[in-house]
Structure 1
Amino acid sequence: MSARHFKELEVWQLAMILTKKIYELTSGFPREERYGLSSQLQRAAVSIPSNIAESNARTSTKDYARFVSIALGSSAELETQLLLSKELNLGDDGLRDEALLFCERSGQMLSRLHQALTHKLESDPRVPSPESRI
């Protein structure tokens, strides 16, 4: 299920592009936002490819699924922050709209990857699923 190296994963490549777009977008934010929404956007964006890379390096499907889930959460956080920046009229509209598209696409890919990993966990009785501990 995992590529030999995280750099080969399309979702990681897409997340890296998204992260660069977030840095482009936030460079146009007012200076007083440097430690506010700008920082939050950058941290959420960086978290996505970072967790994809970490998940790919994990040796168990359970760990892989957990880090993909974290990346998926960061994607939802980033989308929320992008929508907030739109409401606050911060940054370039075109850059933000482009970032939103990349964010939605990476979120969809992460969701499919997480579903596949969860299915793998459920179909292999030797690997405890997260739900079995509840």
Structure 2
Amino acid sequence: MHRYKDLEIWKLSRKFCVSIYEQTSNFPESEKFGLVSQLRCASVSVPSNISEGCSRNSNKDFSRFLEIAIGSCYEIETQLLIATDLDLINKETSITLLNELNKIIQMTSKFKSTLK
């Protein structure tokens, strides 16, 4: 069993989640149940699945939760691109967020590969 609070991927994904909440607080009210809800839900899912996976007794189970976290990352990527297309997020902020997200994806994938 791993201690999730010690994992850098958990720390980074938690910090990223806060960034998503901050950015979506500037979205129009009409997106409250659209992109705001989707982005926030998916961003919470990443550190949540990492921490839940840590509680599992086997690396195979933990690996599955890391797969789910990575899937949520790709969901966030798509939603950020759509938000950028709609001018809800400026391109510079979008690039910064996407770079942070890519780092989380790469680190999680690499960590997952060590569990086999």
TM-score, normalised on structure 2? 0.93
Deviations along 1:76-115, one digit per CA (max 9) or x if unpaired, are 1111111111111103444433221211110111111222
Distance 2:74 2:89 in 1: 19
Task: Find the counterpart in structure 2 of residue 112 from structure 1.
Answer: 110
Which runs of structure 2 are paired with 1:87-106 in the superposition (5 Å)? 87-106=85-104
Task: Find the counterpart in structure 2 of residue 56 from structure 1.
Answer: 54
Percent of aligned pairs with the same amino acid: 43
Runs of at least 5 residues in structure 2 that lack an aligned partner in the other structure: none
Task: Find the counterpart in structure 2 of residue 127 from structure 1.
Answer: none
Where does structure 1 differ by over 4 angstroms across 4 or more consecutive aligned residues? none
Greater Rg over alpha carbons, structure: 1
Which runs of structure 2 are paired with 1:72-91 in the superposition (5 Å)? 72-91=70-89
C-alpha RMSD over aligned residues: 1.3
Pick from 27, 30, 38 the counterpart of residue 29 of structure 1: 27
Distance 2:33 2:49 in 1: 23
Task: Find the counterpart in structure 2 of residue 46 from structure 1.
Answer: 44
Q: Is the CA contact (8 Å cut-off) linking 2:20 and 2:43 kept in structure 1? A: yes
Aligned length: 116
TM-score, normalised on structure 1? 0.81
Distance 1:116 1:80 in 2: 27
